[in-house]
Amino acid sequence: MKKITIIGNWKLNGTKNLVKKFSKKINLKFKKYSKFINIVLSPPYVYIDRMRKKIKDKKNIFLGSQNTDLRKSGAYTGEISVNMLKDIGVKYIFIGHSERRIYHKENNKKISKKFKIVKDNKLIPILCIGETKKEKKYKLTKVILKKQIKKIFNLCGKNAFKNSYIAYEPVWAIGSGKSASIKDINKVHQFIKDYIFKKSKINNNYKKNFYIQYGGSVTEDNALEIISQKNVDGLLIGANSLNYKKFLKIIDIVYKYYKNKYNV
C-alpha cells in the first residue's frame, strides 16, 4: 500500500508557541494516522530544529525545508545549505515554489541545479510546478509544466524523479481560496505522470516511490474530493497548515477515507 503524504508549508510564519502547540496536537494523533499517512512539516528555518525535538522518534512525521542554497558551504551570507538541513534532521526540501520563482527570480535552470544537489545528498526533493492565470487562459498549462520538468531530466537523467515528489500548484490558486477543478487536477496529474514515466527508466519500484501532490487552496471542504482521485498521492497545504485544528481536520478526513477504502 502506497501511503498518502500530507505536507504543511508554513512559509514566512510561525512562533515558538505555535511549534509547541502544533507538535503537541500532532503527536497525540500520530499513532492513529501513521497506518495510512506520512506527514511532512515545513516551518521556517529557525524553527526546524525546535520542531524536530518536539516530534522526535515519530517514524511517519518528517521535517521539510522550504528552500536550500545551490552551494554546500562558503562565503554566502544568509544562505542555508543541504549539509546544514541534513544535519538537523530534514528529509524533504521544496524546490521551485512559485513564490521563489516570482519573488526571488528563480528560473528553471537554477531550480534544476537545486533539485540535483538535493538528490545527490540523498534527500527528497518536492518540485513545485504550476501555471499562472494568464498561461491557463491561453491553454499553455501543459507547455509550461513540461518546460519545468524537462530541465530536471536534462540535468539529472532518466532516473531524476525516482524517490521524488512533484507538487502541482496552479499559481493562480495559491492563497486565492479557489482550487483547481477536479477535472483539471485529474487531467494535469495524468499528464505529469505520463510525461515522467515516458522519459524515465520505469519499474514498479520507481512508480512506488514517485508521488504527485496537489496544492493550491486545499481546505477541509475540498480535501476529500481531491484525495479520492486516482492520480493524487497527497496534499500540499499552505495557509491551513498554520491552524492545527484545520490541518488535523484535513488529515482526519484523509485518514477516514483510506480506512474505509481498505476496510480496516
Q: Which of 155, 146, 149, 144 is nearest to 117 (CA)?
A: 155
The CATH number given to whatever domain includes residue 136 is 3.20.20.70
According to the model, what pLDDT value does residue 167 have? Answer: 97
Specify the pTM.
0.95
According to the model, what pLDDT value does residue 256 have? Answer: 94
According to the model, what pLDDT value does residue 263 have? Answer: 74
Q: Report the 10 Å Cβ neighbour count for 100.
A: 18
d(CA 183, CA 187): 6
d(CA 146, CA 162): 17
Among residues 99, 106, 131, 169, which one is catalytic?
Answer: 169
Q: What is the CA radius of gyration of the chain?
A: 17
Query: Measured at the alpha carbon of residue 96, what is the angle toward residues 220 and 109, in degrees to the nearest 5?
Result: 160
Q: What are phi and psi of 216, to 5 degrees?
A: 125, 90
pLDDT by position in tens, the chain (length 264):
789 999 999 999 999 999 999 999 888 888 888 889 999 999 999 999 999 999 877 788 999 999 999 999 999 999 999 999 999 999 999 999 999 999 999 999 999 999 999 999 999 999 999 999 999 999 999 999 999 999 999 999 999 999 999 999 998 888 777 788 999 999 999 999 999 999 887 777 777 889 999 998 899 999 999 999 989 999 999 999 999 999 999 999 999 999 888 776
According to the model, what pLDDT value does residue 201 have? Answer: 74
Q: Report the 10 Å Cβ neighbour count for 73.
A: 11
According to the model, what pLDDT value does residue 157 have? Answer: 93
Among residues 79, 97, 104, 106, which one is catalytic?
Answer: 97
According to the model, what pLDDT value does residue 2 have? Answer: 83
CA atoms within 13 A on the CB side of 146: 9
Residue 169 is a catalytic residue: yes
Residue 131 is a catalytic residue: no
Number of domains in the chain: 1
According to the model, what pLDDT value does residue 31 have? Answer: 81
Domain containing 238 equals 4-261
Q: DSSP label at 181?
A: P
According to the model, what pLDDT value does residue 208 have? Answer: 82
Q: What are phi and psi of 129, to 5 degrees?
A: -135, 155
According to the model, what pLDDT value does residue 206 have? Answer: 75
Element holding 8 (H helix, E strand):
strand 4-9
